[in-house]
Structure 1
């Protein structure tokens, strides 16, 4: 059996031997294997931050959802952290809520009813037109009303029919209230002598509702001096233009009649030459006039006078008096042999070309005159 001193000595020798041969792991650098690199460190840090944010958001959303579900709606006029505020335009009571008249539920909100808004818009436009037309009438003629009381407007509204709503329903009252609110935004307001509110159409808006007669009257009054100076000149110019037009029309018609007279006289001369008689070569001017002119044209003495002037200026025609049945008559006679159509190029009537109906009418006139000669 070993003594205690000898066993202690063996243990110390064994420790020295172990220290002379260290383990292989002791020689390895601990910074390269045990600790992460800088890049890996930042990646771990980013993942941890995202996880914290997600956990916090989920926790907050869960709390709000639970809180929202658990809190009832507050009654109107009450504010407390234990309940949610009542939605706008709603009536809340004992945790239940309902939209006031004229509004409809849309989720947890109360939105306006479209039919009521449309009816209120139509009503306000109609009242605005009535008020502005009355103001425009007052501006033009001095007759009409300018300022209206709210009671009067409400009475006017009663005359406007709303087929969608009955007159005694709450919807009809709401439409009138909304229409009045929109009117007060557009119209001018003041307090009357009795303290009531009165409204009036703005002058700029009333100008747009003036009638055409009123606008013309205002323009005439504004330019009266200009009109006084220009109207006589305009009338005189119109009369001059009308006279020129009538003169040209008269000249054109006279030339047409002159052409027919020449054709009738030429035909009479040719027929007299063919038959060998001399009495048939002339034609009474008054009879020829009555046959060529219409009853309306006979009242215009200037027309036939112009035809007579053209006949007198024509050297191919001869004009003289002849006693027929004891009465002196002016007769016309063709003095040149040949056809009139061949002489038109050289004569005054070169610019006028007779139509076929004119020639036919002249022949018809000549035949009538021949039948009338023995009796006249």
Structure 2
């Protein structure tokens, strides 16, 4: 009889799943970090290989309007694409897959825009001043001016660059100019009134200002002329008075010295001096024509109590003479007050001539030789200068 195998109660009825091998999963935090690092490096390597192996799509030709953008990339702005390659126009540089400006176009456009605006405003300013010039400009006039200015400063630009610059210049001009309409409803452009007025020449501005303020200008000129005349009259009176005082002081010195010399022993010179002689000696030719000057001197002489003025017959002619009446000599004090260094000295020849003229009218007695010797000595003793 076959034996029946008796199973132990401790053994399971169904076999359990196989347990994982020891060391398959990380046992700690350090092993987990190590595993994540390995996975990240593997992902980065896979992504780099995918990018390097992928070839960028070519650029669509600029002349092909039916290019499908799923098979090629559109040509960037300011670029020319041929056979999948891009070439930037003049004034632009390629950076990656786009064309960026290098500054030449902007500089040229700004310069041409400024020159164009100045020319348009100068035309307007000439018209405001009554000279030949246009105020209203149409689109083709502005375009012609821009072409003319670009032809003078387009040596470094290609045709594409010139086109870009012109578009920017026209856009800037339209933003600066005022838009209006002509009598036939045509759109026109003109320089702003304020900018045109500032561009007028100074002569034109002055002329227009005077014409618009003619009443004020005439009134100002009349008042200015009257004021200048009054000031000039005051100055002339002051100068006349100043000069008369100088001549008066010289006359006093001459009369005082002559009176002292006349009292010297054996002197035949008279103590008086003819007024006309003093006038002719002290005044210049131009000053003699001014009768007010000598009249002012005579007024000062009449007010001086030290000087006596009376008529006298000299050589058969009636003359008016002056004589110093003060006793003693004040010449030393007077010269001290005036300062010897500050006064001009008369020449010895003039002193001798004046002495001869004064002494010539003295007494008739005596030889002419003695008179000349006496007058010469008198002239040498005279210390006061003749101006």
> Would you say how many aligned residue pairs link Structure 1 and Structure 2?
342
Give the drift of 1:194. Answer: 7.3
Change (3 A) 1:360 1:211: same
Which of 220-229 and 81-90 deviates more?
220-229
Give the drift of 1:71. Answer: 1.6
Change (3 A) 1:354 1:294: farther
Change (3 A) 1:180 1:91: same
Tell me the equivalent position of 1:340. 331
Tell me the equivalent position of 1:367. 352
Mapping of residues 52-91 of structure 1, within 5 Å: 63=50, 66-67=53-54, 69-76=55-62, 77=65, 78=67, 80-91=69-80
Structure 2: which 5+ residue stretches go unaligned? 11-24, 362-387
Give the drift of 1:94. Answer: 1.7
8 Å CA contact 2:270, 2:358 repeated in 1: no
8 Å CA contact 2:121, 2:199 repeated in 1: yes
8 Å CA contact 1:318, 1:333 repeated in 2: yes
Mapping of residues 141-156 of structure 1, within 5 Å: 141=130, 144-156=133-145
Tell me the equivalent position of 1:184. 174
Give the drift of 1:201. Answer: 0.6
8 Å CA contact 1:264, 1:362 repeated in 2: no
Q: Give the alignment partner of residue 262 of structure 1, picking from 252, 255, 264.
A: 252
Structure 1: which 5+ residue stretches go unaligned? 16-33
Mapping of residues 101-250 of structure 1, within 5 Å: 101-112=90-101, 114-141=103-130, 144-156=133-145, 160=149, 165=154, 170=159, 173-174=162-163, 176-190=166-180, 198-221=188-211, 223-227=213-217, 229-250=219-240
Mapping of residues 18-37 of structure 1, within 5 Å: none
Change (3 A) 1:220 1:326: same
> How far apart are the structure 2 equivalents of 1:261 and 1:171?
97
Secondary structure class of the residue paired with 2:119: helix
8 Å CA contact 1:147, 1:200 repeated in 2: yes
> C-alpha offsets along residues 32-78 of structure 1, whole Å, 9 cap, x if unaligned?
xx9989xx69x969995x887887677666655554x3321222354
Q: CA RMSD in A?
A: 4.3
Tell me the equivalent position of 1:292. 282
> How far apart are the structure 2 equivalents of 1:44 and 1:35?
6
Secondary structure class of the residue paired with 1:72: coil
> C-alpha offsets along residues 20-42 of structure 1, whole Å, 9 cap, x if unaligned?
xxxxxxxxxxxxxx9989xx69x
Give the drift of 1:318. Answer: 1.7
Q: Does 1:100 align with 2:61?
A: no
Change (3 A) 1:221 1:65: farther
Change (3 A) 1:283 1:205: same
> C-alpha offsets along residues 118-159 of structure 1, whole Å, 9 cap, x if unaligned?
344333322322221222233344753201234334544566
Give the drift of 1:193. Answer: 6.5
> How far apart are the structure 1 equivalents of 2:38 and 2:205?
79
> How far apart are the structure 1 equivalents of 2:93 and 2:173?
24
8 Å CA contact 1:265, 1:333 repeated in 2: yes
8 Å CA contact 2:268, 2:359 repeated in 1: no
Change (3 A) 1:288 1:159: farther
TM-score using structure 1 length: 0.72
> How far apart are the structure 2 equivalents of 1:189 and 1:331?
92
